Amino acid sequence: MKNLLLIFILTMFAGNLFGQDSEPTEKKFQNTLRYNISNPAIFGIKNIIFGYERVLKKNRSFSIDIGLNQLPGFNSEGNNSQNESLVLLRGGKNRGVHFSADYRFYLKSENKFDAPRGVYIGPYYSFNSFDKSKNWQLTSDNFEGEVGTELGFRIHTIGAELGYQFKLSKRFMLDFVLFGPGVGIYKSKVDFESTLDPDDEALILQKINDLLSEKIPGFNTIVDGSGFENTGIANVTGLGYRFMINVGYRF
């Protein structure tokens, strides 16, 4: 009887041990749908970008982002100072699109958990397109009245990124792209709706360059300090950058 009791106790004890090992593990979600919360904070609420990340292996994933974006508004809109020969008027068209993709390697040496959690590195590609139309009040020796301008800005960037993804809860993640140097190809175009003297064109072009420099980090580096020297199309190769904060839902 004592032996049977001992066997029974040992069996129950062993069952509990193996039962703990065999408890179901947390379900692994391979997909994450995310929303970019940094672009609206930096460039305005009309910048709406959604993304999708798919886990391919334990430490690898692929993701894409797509959405609408805009160039930020200029601070001097509606500044009708009588001392200025060039005044930027309110209103105008402002629209754009964004697309980007990256391939992420979640570092085994730095992370305790499988993707998509922890430190990651990888290559990325991004494309941004902006179209902005503005009206100006110009007063000069050769012209007095309103002038319309059409600004087109296209940016292709290829680079490498460093990021970190936190697990907020079972299904919610917070994703930081912290550092993303790259090489960008910038194509810009400025058209005038009126025929102007070259000096008047240069005045407006320099003003546009100054306003963009105030709003876009690194813009002076992009154009190498020269700005928009003339109308037409200009291609410039320069340093790009990538910074994003996303909140994601796993499924």
**Domain presence at residue 190:** yes
pLDDT value of residue 23:
41
For residues 175-190, give the mean pLDDT.
89
Considering only residues 3 and 93, tell me which one the structure prediction assigns the higher pLDDT. Answer: 93
* pLDDT tens digits, one per residue of 54-104: 999 999 999 999 999 988 777 766 665 555 789 999 889 999 999 999 999
For residues 99-116, give the mean pLDDT.
93
**Domain presence at residue 15:** no
For residues 103-129, give the mean pLDDT.
94
pLDDT value of residue 134:
92
| Type of residue found at 200 | D
Q: In total, how many domains does the chain have? A: 1
**Domain presence at residue 22:** no
**Domain presence at residue 17:** no
Non-local CB neighbours of 152 within 8 Å, separated by 6+ positions: 130, 131, 187, 188, 189, 190
**Domain presence at residue 4:** no
Chain centroid to Cα 89, Å, comes to: 28
Q: Residue 230, Cβ neighbours under 10 Å: how many? A: 10
Q: Whose CA is closest to 101, among 62, 131, 70, 46?
A: 62
Provide the percentage of residues in the chain whose pLDDT is more than 70.
Answer: 77
Considering only residues 165 and 153, tell me which one the structure prediction assigns the higher pLDDT. Answer: 165
Q: Whose CA is closest to 120, among 198, 32, 47, 215?
A: 32
> Structure tokens of 47?
């910048």
**Domain presence at residue 19:** no
> Structure tokens of 135?
């009206």
Cα gap 89→193, rounded to integer Å: 15
**Domain presence at residue 16:** no
For residues 20-46, give the mean pLDDT.
79
**Domain presence at residue 67:** yes
Which residue range is the domain that position 130 belongs to?
32-250
Cα gap 236→131, rounded to integer Å: 18
For residues 24-46, give the mean pLDDT.
85
For residues 17-21, give the mean pLDDT.
45
Model-level pTM? 0.78
Q: Residue 114, Cβ neighbours under 10 Å: how many? A: 15
Mean pLDDT of the chain: 83
- Range of lowest pLDDT (17-31, 56-70, 177-191, 211-225): 17-31
145: left (phi over 0), alpha (psi -120 to 50) or beta: left
First to last CA, the chain: 54
Q: Residue 217, Cβ neighbours under 10 Å: how many? A: 11
Cα gap 237→186, rounded to integer Å: 6
Considering only residues 109 and 228, tell me which one the structure prediction assigns the higher pLDDT. Answer: 109
* pLDDT tens digits, one per residue of 195-245: 888 889 888 988 888 888 777 766 666 665 555 655 566 566 666 778 899
* Three-state secondary-structure class, residue 174: strand
